[in-house]
Amino acid sequence: DSGVTQTPKHLITATGQRVTLRCSPRSGDLSVYWYQQSLDQGLQFLIQYYNGEERAKGNILERFSAQQFPDLHSELNLSSLELGDSALYFCASSVGDHTDTQYFGPGTRLTVL
């Protein structure tokens, strides 16, 4: 158990809908990272927040957005969902900003029908 929690575990929705994925980092970790893992794209870094501020942006679509709240939990919002958005979404956390150790949550499996 990494100490990072993600909810929900599974999510099934329809095209065009909007969903919110939630992540609680390990106690004391200030950074949160979001990743998408799919069969065709592999593991893609989406975005990182550090202490409430966006720190790095990867291959995140404009339809997706994220934020980190004062209590350090983070949410990833996916809107206008398409079939290709079906994937495993992982959250990871780390103590600091440029630290080298990320701890991954168990992931949320999103299925778009």
Partner 1 sequence: GEDVEQSLFLSVREGDSSVINCTYTDSSSTYLYWYKQEPGAGLQLLTYIFSNMDMKQDQRLTVLLNKKDKHLSLRIADTQTGDSAIYFCAEKDTGNQFYFGTGTSLTVIP
Q: Which among 27, 26, 44 has a CA at the least distance from the CA of 35?
A: 44
User: Does 55 contact partner 1 by CB under 8 A?
Assistant: yes
Interface characters, 62-101, with partner 1 (x: CB under 8 A)? ----------------------------x-x----xx-xx
User: Does 102 contact partner 1 by CB under 8 A?
Assistant: yes
Q: Of the candidates 2, 77, 80, 111, which one interacts with partner 1 according to CB under 8 A? A: 2
Q: Of the candidates 52, 67, 73, 106, which one interacts with partner 1 according to CB under 8 A? A: 106
Least distance from C-beta 101 to partner 1, angstroms? 6
Tokens 């999103």 label which residue? 110
Kindly write down the DSSP assignment for every residue of 50-104, as one continuous string.
Answer: ETTEEEEE-S--TTEEEEE-TTS-EEEEE-S--GGG-EEEEEEEESSSS-S--EE
